[in-house]
Amino acid sequence: MTTTTQPSPTADAPADSSTNPLLLQWTGAFGGIPPLDMVSVEDFKPALEAAMAEEIAEVERIANDPAPLTFENTLAALERTGRTLDRVTTAYGIWSSTLNTSDFQPIEREMAPMLAAHSDRITQNAALFSRIDAVYASPAKATLTPEQQRLAWLYQTNFVRAGARLDDAAKTRLSAINQRLAALYTSFSQNVLADETDQMVVLNSEAELAGLPRSLRDGAAAAARAKGMQTGWVISNTRSSVDPFLTYSDNRELREKVWRMFVSRGDNPGANNNNAVITEILALRAERAKLLGYATHAHWRLENTMAKTPERAVELLEAVWRPASGRVAEEVRDMQALALSEGQNITIEPWDYRYYAEKVRKQRYDLDQNEVKPYLQLERLREGMFWVAGELFGFDFSPVTVPVYHPDVRVWEVTDRQSGRHIGLWYFDPYARAGKRSGAWMNSYRRQERFDDDVTTIVSNNSNFVMGAPGAPVLISWDDATTLFHEFGHALHGLSSNVNYPSLSGTAVPRDYVEFPSQLLEHWLTTPQVLQRFALHHETGQPIPQSLVDRIERASKFNQGFATTEYLSSAIIDMRMHLAGDRPIDPDVFERETLAELGMPRELVMRHRTPQFLHVFGGDGYSAGYYSYLWSDVLTADAYQAFVEAGGLYDPGVAARLRQHIFSIGNTVDPADAYRAFRGRDPEIEALMRKRGFGAVAP
């Protein structure tokens, strides 16, 4: 099924695989390797078309099977379909997210609606749905394994939620909406990418670099050369470039200029403006929710999550909002006082926040991020992650040479330390480049499964580190190191998967649960075991001094007002926009009025303003779902306490429970039950409030 893509090498040979490399089986070692070095963008369209046709034929055979229906000839059979399309969309997804250049973009614009229509053709197949529904309702279901019963539930609810019970006219309208939305998501993403690529602030003199650390200057010089400039420095319009500039630049005017550029992505006059796109997306989502019988898009989206209802999600967001925004007022007071003491008679503005927060951090905790960075070498930290995976999961990593889509990409084989058994492959694509979307993410090229053959997984981690001078180690910030461990947590979630059916495998869990394993893994970065072995000074090789680690620890709750409030404001706007029903929404007005009503502190801005909110408008995935990070963090903070109570993060007993009940089970168990099995009780919010330094829960 492509509604939940699940690449695998085990399918029958496709009809016409002779000339198009995208249609080839994955052959060779490790259960088959994607031939990513053979892809040409002109192959995507014919490959996608052939693979979609193949899947429709497979699904038709199941829908029209004359044999009496069973779990095997319906649901297990469906798990075997769409294998070719899974392989093609794996490559298509890689190009879309990491090689999205001008030759690929028209293909994406054309194919996105076709893929949406294809998915609807399957979920709207009445004969197929009646079989799924019959298996789900059959008394024979009780004889299935718990995992098979969960799969039956998943198919039944996914089809109903996608409109399988609607009449023909409603189905036609629904499919038209989905196709239009797919086109709009593509436009939205490409518009943001265009502003990030085309806009920059060019610095021409040493004076304009005042305050910037060496690494940032070097990165800015390299960015200028990459743009063909012989001299000068470029601050690119991406977070990895903008945030450090705002933290260190002494030039207030330039800070304001860079800040305005960054928060205006997708909001500038001209062809890349996203406001009309957002209005149309919200209207279509509201119409779709109504067609499907839900009050709003948010109600539809949250039904099959852990939160279950928007009300429960909003309740959590609002419980944290008051202490977080209250903390902002304290942070601003501290910054204001420090600015005054330096003779700067200014009012703290959003472009001052990171700059003065850094100064307060230095003053209060004697902690300078630039003092930390020389110890954070990307490659050493990668080795540190491997070491953690060995301690907790018994995994070993060894580099392998397999075909890749870009020379920056490296691949490791993962094996089980005890048995030597092959576990999977881990692809690592660490560096920023033109056409790669910003941020960091994990994805799965092939899901683990076992119901026919033993199929191992292939996962990848992607980020946007700025490459240093040739041969020089890449030094990253503490925040980036945390993100590195976070994404590796997603990868370990995929690699640990031990289930039968691919639709239930690995990270295919509810959105507000999927961030839990990844956020939890962030904690191992801070352990002395990792820091003493792997946080080594790039020149002296000395481990990071304990006094510095202590200062990092003491400062861990610093600036949580800012971090939590910039996140929460985005999460609340996302939720409110999708609870607003079908009234037309001007995103600019909606954002301004909602923030005013919330009492958004004027000194900061949403982490993602609506015109650039890719989580929410680049696809359906995180729509009415940005709250998921906080929801998952309640679990994360509470689960972390389980380790603390047991004596530490390397406690073998808790680690075994973590593998057994969380990392290995995919979506075979309801997440609330899985968490209870791990912890012995439901999660409690107090640990989260302590972690962020907010004291007791707001009444």
CB atoms within 10 A of CB 513: 23
- For the chain, helix, strand, coil in percent to 5 are 60, 10, 35
Please identify, using beta-carbon distances, which residue of 195 and 487 lies nearer to Zn ion. 487
Sign (positive/negative) of CA torsion 580, 585, 587, 590?
negative
Please identify, using beta-carbon distances, which residue of 267 and 487 lies nearer to Zn ion. 487
Question: For residue 182, which of 121, 110, 244 has the smallest C-alpha distance?
Answer: 110
Binds Zn ion (CB under 5 A): choice among 191, 518, 565, 569? 518
Rounded-to-integer distance, Cα 351 and Cα 354, Å:
7
Q: How far is the CB of 588 from Zn ion (least distance, A)?
A: 29
Please identify, using beta-carbon distances, which residue of 544 and 637 lies nearer to Zn ion. 637
Q: How far is the CB of 83 from Zn ion (least distance, A)?
A: 27
Residue 229 to residues 262, 572, 693, Cα–Cα distance (Å):
22, 42, 46
Q: How far is the CB of 517 from Zn ion (least distance, A)?
A: 9
Closest CB to Zn ion belongs to which residue? 518
Q: Amino acid identity of 188?
A: F
Rounded-to-integer distance, Cα 563 and Cα 548, Å:
22
Q: How far is the CB of 274 from Zn ion (least distance, A)?
A: 24
Please identify, using beta-carbon distances, which residue of 78 and 484 lies nearer to Zn ion. 484
Q: How far is the CB of 515 from Zn ion (least distance, A)?
A: 5
Q: How far is the CB of 351 from Zn ion (least distance, A)?
A: 28
Please identify, using beta-carbon distances, which residue of 302 and 440 lies nearer to Zn ion. 440
Please identify, using beta-carbon distances, which residue of 413 and 515 lies nearer to Zn ion. 515
Burial 676-686, CB ≥16 within 10 A → b, else e: eebbeeebeee
- Strand-pair category, 410-416 with 422-431: antiparallel
Q: How far is the CB of 635 from Zn ion (least distance, A)?
A: 13
The full DSSP string for 345-398 is: -----GGGHHHHHHHHHHHHH---HHHHGGG-BHHHHHHHHHHHHHHHH-EEEE
Rounded-to-integer distance, Cα 519 and Cα 482, Å:
9
User: x/- contact string, 466-505, with Zn ion (CB under 5 A)?
Assistant: ----------------------------------------
Residue the block writes with tokens 């295919």: 508
User: x/- contact string, 393-432, with Zn ion (CB under 5 A)?
Assistant: ----------------------------------------
SS3 444: strand
Q: Which residues are paired to 485 by β-bridges?
A: none
The full DSSP string for 661-679 is: IIIS-TTSS-HHHHHHHHH
User: What letter does residue 580 receive in the DSSP assignment?
Assistant: S
Q: How far is the CB of 490 from Zn ion (least distance, A)?
A: 6
Residue 369 to residues 392, 474, 549, 625, Cα–Cα distance (Å):
29, 15, 12, 32
Q: How many chain residues interact with Zn ion (CB under 5 A)?
A: 2
Question: For residue 6, which of 490, 500, 462, 393 has the smallest C-alpha distance?
Answer: 500
Please identify, using beta-carbon distances, which residue of 515 and 566 lies nearer to Zn ion. 515
Rounded-to-integer distance, Cα 124 and Cα 131, Å:
13
Please identify, using beta-carbon distances, which residue of 123 and 518 lies nearer to Zn ion. 518
Q: How far is the CB of 686 from Zn ion (least distance, A)?
A: 23
Segment interacting with Zn ion (CB under 5 A) among 19-27, 61-69, 309-317, 509-517: 509-517
Q: Which residues are paired to 201 by β-bridges?
A: 235
Please identify, using beta-carbon distances, which residue of 262 and 513 lies nearer to Zn ion. 513
Supply 433's token pair. Answer: 């480049």
Question: For residue 485, which of 462, 519, 531 has the smallest C-alpha distance?
Answer: 519
Q: Which residues are paired to 462 by β-bridges?
A: 429, 441
Please identify, using beta-carbon distances, which residue of 96 and 518 lies nearer to Zn ion. 518
Q: How far is the CB of 128 from Zn ion (least distance, A)?
A: 33
Please identify, using beta-carbon distances, which residue of 514 and 531 lies nearer to Zn ion. 514
Supply 527's token pair. Answer: 């352990």
Question: For residue 445, which of 456, 433, 432 has the smallest C-alpha distance?
Answer: 456
Enzyme catalytic residues? 487
Segment interacting with Zn ion (CB under 5 A) among 211-219, 224-232, 510-518, 575-583: 510-518
Residues 585-644 that bind Zn ion (CB under 5 A): none
- Strand-pair category, 410-416 with 395-400: antiparallel
Query: Could you give phi then psi for residue 269, rounded to 5 degrees?
Result: -60, 150
Decide if residue 96 touches Zn ion (CB under 5 A): no
Residues that bind Zn ion (CB under 5 A): 515, 518
